[in-house]
Amino acid sequence: MKILGNHLVVELTGCNNDILNDCNRLQDCFDEAVRKSVATKVKSVFHRYNPHGVSGVVVIAESHMSIHTWPEYGYAAVDFFTCGDTVDPYKAFQWVKTILGASSAQISEIKRGMPSSKDEVIDHKPFNQTILATTPTN
């Protein structure tokens, strides 16, 4: 595989139900996770469902971090997908696990990239955010 990125798929259980249902606290948690992992935040969206649960995603220059919560079960499904070698998704994971008060975590690590006859890490160049800041014309 020509490896472009690393994807951590995380199952967190035994989490604090109140935090799992609080959009603002989760967004703050993920903003800090981005900072701790040395990623570059582009934009985030968090949404609280009725009667409970939150979904949120933080788009980072190096890919994304996301969460989907089930407070009624104390469960959160979390993804940390990072490209390049400057971001440490494990630092983001440790922060989120601590803040959510998870009693257990299961991590699946997946290398992401293009099929190839041999494994090699290929260069990833973060995009220039100023290019994306322009408004498309209609």
Q: How many CB atoms lie within 10 A of CB 87?
A: 26
From 100, 87, 111, select the one nearest 11 (Cα to Cα).
100
| 63 in catalytic set | yes
Q: Is 81 helix (H, G, I), strand (E, B) or coil?
A: strand
Partner residues linked to 108 by β-bridges: 9
Is 68 assigned a catalytic role? yes
Catalytic annotation present for 29 = no
Q: Which of 37, 44, 63, 66 is catalytic?
A: 63
Selected catalytic residue, list 7, 64, 68, 124: 68
Of 37, 83, 103, 116, the catalytic one is 83
Give residues with Cβ within 8 angstroms of 51, minimum separation 6: none
Asked if 102 contacts 14 with a C-beta cutoff of 8 angstroms, the reply is yes
Active-site positions read 63, 68, 83
